[in-house]
Structure 1
């Protein structure tokens, strides 16, 4: 049976789901309702002749759908997710699930009393290289994992973008330790099959904002690309600004930035593994490195997603990329043996074919998957609370402890 979907939040993040329901997954569902504060954005996406609702009519929208897709500003997720679950409506929610401890508690309570299903769309789980790491760890080739070293680099195109948009305001996004790192913490939780127990962190705003090292640089104009030269972004934001006054692309060196751009985190897990994690939002290149040290060997994954931050990359994602300079390399080395490079099987489409696998799970239901890639509300809460705990630790200078199941903060 074709399911009836409603979507709330018609900004950039809605595109993936709307395209899916208009295309390859149209047999599995149809979009029958849209909800947003901005009529112009709803009209842009409404090629389905879907009913349109303002948030004050959200409850009415829920009566006519089987499942809700949530792609609103992060801080609003908890309210919409809870209302949908209480109405018996399934939920598909963009990461992060929510932004704070209170939101996690409200969602957990609603999920516990509801028969409806909640999916958090952690598409990085489905990326072939990350799935290959999960398979290697499960094989036991490096024994019990004792330590994880994880460094993520956001470049001066992608990283800077978080300091232009609403994400720059901590109360809306939870900061990058929640909004962005939720992906990374979820990967580690999933890779290890364990829950975070203790978190300690240091963080700061060192490059962006009016007092950052980047302010006043001679090349400052390179941080101000004309994103509205993109017709789609112009239609979604510039042409819609008269309704709500939202400025999509602010100066990354202006006042009003309340999130950090430089972060280091230590996490001890319930299984005694220790994670050392770093996130930097002004690197000259984009990519990540993760290494697992185990009792029998080591696994290393290195990924170069963009070799250098071409100013043109804001409008052309391929700028700064080349086959020679972008790569992914996965190796495993057991004790007393040379390192072995592992072939990564890639598919077509976003994230090496991972997006298509995710959308299959979302719209057609999970297939038999020994890697357990589909994420539920518990996974979403554990990744959010790792970031919330890190943010709190960075502000207080003290470690923060989570409950035994990773679903709450002990000193909250």
Structure 2
């Protein structure tokens, strides 16, 4: 029978080594600074502060998972957590000695310089010696991961042990103690087990894993098909979490405040330009200044998007099925200029203020727009995911140069990939970067 080596004892050794290294860094850091400042007496005084600090630090560190599996896996993350725990511990101890009226016994220099030296030693030890120790004791992975192939979808996980159920006679028979014992022998020393089996045996494997004292998973491609990110049980029914808003309340508030501020200031600053453009459009052919078109917005709801009219009246398709081409005969003289400079998009600042749009987000598309000879959502079903946020006046796709007609399906694929990337990694700083980068693409060869 295949048997994985136990890593539990080795992990405990690594945890103890991490703790010992932190204690060493703590006493060496403060002791060294105290000795340099005041000789032997200064060193003793600094070590006294380190003694007061040690129990507080260990308490905070244990609570913050400084000595955890994740810290063994990711030395950088463990070092950051240790530094944060040390900072909190120093603040707590300094607060205590201040109210105990004994702060005069410890100089601010020792606290500050000692803390900084301890941080340097702590990080250096974790990222060099201790990282090598973890690799030596635990190997390539700090957990034993076992994949049991019982005739389900093929799965290959680097660094995992793979076992064929048929080759070793592993059958999840809940009425056969011998079969259960055989599976238990294979699962010995495993930390995580993944089973790939046909649908009719998945429930049995799930029952086996629940009694095996391991983290167990059973492959079900329905989760992948629906892109589920979690699961729960409610009133006897299994529920898969397939969607949640891409931004929390705080992030939505920050983004909305940014939109209102930027759009409001832009309308004030650009008012003379907007009035001149509006007058020129009116003077050219006497038609309306604005063009309104139905676009798909947040939550896949329609909204009316505003643009300066750049085509002859009644020549612009209301559903966008006929995209604008280079040297399009429908475009007016002033329209050619405002489209080439993206000025025609500026009325969308009103959409931003009204809440239909955002400054940054996936560009809103017309319902009849085509990529090649297919509607956008016919090219890729993920297209509808891009509407989880308000559409934007500019976006990640635009600053990457994906503008103009979508003559081929690949043209849409590039834009969609950029939009989904934006949704999955939103940050305020990325929005600001996209705004600044948009300046470089206002005049674009595909803007016609």
TM-score (norm 2): 0.21
Which of 1 and 2 has higher RCO (CA within 8 Å, sep 6+)?
Answer: 1
The structure that is strand-richer by fraction is: 1
Q: Which has the larger radius of gyration?
A: 2
